[in-house]
């Protein structure tokens, strides 16, 4: 399996990648594989598979990441968090991941289990992604590790500056590239990029993009990621929120233009959050490649 940093180092064009999550049902899993099959038509650089809140999908994440990589001959990264595990448990899981043929990880702190509001460090475990990344390196695992970044700051961070200081610890610990939380204002990403470069963070930074498929998602994204929306985007989508075809057209058009601008700004690729659906992400990448 090719390592993701090498993909960015050797790419002659922007790298388009897709994120999926482990479904809860066999039917959902069938639909996931169908979505990946559709999206494989645009030759993605790699795919990623998330980890459920509280590590609830750990085994499924490992299995699905490995199966998708083999079935579609795609480089793949499994999300991995430090939620609910001490060092010994984490060491065992890392061995399982490596033995499954996975060479790429997205190393994250992770979200608290369902029903819990705050993250709680397990005794003998880790409280930050930077600690997890350091441990993986110290244990001699040769994973290529990505980490998350937040152009509009992590919701729990006191300030963007303190969040960037924490981000530098992740990179100094061994993160090879960064994938951003979703955002909709490129000016915020550009300012963030300028700030982290001044702090000496020089690894590839990949914008994370989420196509809007329904108007109700806007408020959910604001609450989930504390992201800012362009007023014109909101008004344009609100105008057609009860006209699905026109809503889809305007949303995809916005994402295409957003991605084009990001590539012009120097983004080495675009990471699309698919929600296990292929149409919007497929249309966006097809338009970008054209």
Burial class (CB in 10 A: 0-12, 13-18, 19+), 275: middle
Residues in the chain, overall count:
290
Coil, strand or helix at 93: helix
CA 256 to chain centre: 18
d(CA 108, CA 175): 10
Asked if residue 169 lies in contact with residue 155, where contact means CB atoms within 8 angstroms, the answer is no
Question: Tokens 């930050």 — which residue?
Answer: 128
**Cα dist from 220 to 52, 54, 67, 72, 170, whole Å:** 18, 20, 31, 32, 28
245 assigned to active site = no
Rounded to whole angstroms, the maximal C-alpha distance in the chain is 55
From the list 19, 103, 131, 152, the catalytic residue is 19
Q: What amino acid positions are annotated as catalytic residues?
A: 19
């Amino acid at each position: 399996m090719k390592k993701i940093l090498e993909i960015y180092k050797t790419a002659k064009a922007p790298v388009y990648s897709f994120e999926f999550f482990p479904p809860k049902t066999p039917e959902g899993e069938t639909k996931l594989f169908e979505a990946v099959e559709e999206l494989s038509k645009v030759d993605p650089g790699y795919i990623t598979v998330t980890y459920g809140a509280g590590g609830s999908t750990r085994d499924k994440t490992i299995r699905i990441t490995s199966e998708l990589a083999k079935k579609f001959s795609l480089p793949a990264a499994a999300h991995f968090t430090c939620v609910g595990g001490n060092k010994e448990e984490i060491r065992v899981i890392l061995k399982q991941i490596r033995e499954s043929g996975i060479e790429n990880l997205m190393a994250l702190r992770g979200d608290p289990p369902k029903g819990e509001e705050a993250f709680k460090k397990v005794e003998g475990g880790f409280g930050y992604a930077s600690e997890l990344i350091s441990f993986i390196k110290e244990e001699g695992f040769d994973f290529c590790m990505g980490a998350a970044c937040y152009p509009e700051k992590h919701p729990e961070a006191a300030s963007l500056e303190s969040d960037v200081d924490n981000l530098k610890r992740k990179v100094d610990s061994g993160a090879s590239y960064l994938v951003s939380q979703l955002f909709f204002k490129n000016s915020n990403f550009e300012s963030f990029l300028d700030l982290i470069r001044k702090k000496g963070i020089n690894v590839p930074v990949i914008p994370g993009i989420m196509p809007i498929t329904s108007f109700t998602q806007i408020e959910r994204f604001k609450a989930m990621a504390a992201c800012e929306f362009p007023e014109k985007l909101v008004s344009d989508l609100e105008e057609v929120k009860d006209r699905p075809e026109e809503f889809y057209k305007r949303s995809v058009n916005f994402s295409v233009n957003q991605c084009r601008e990001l590539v012009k700004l120097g983004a080495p690729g675009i990471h699309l959050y698919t929600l296990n659906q292929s149409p919007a992400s497929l249309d966006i990448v097809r338009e970008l490649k054209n």
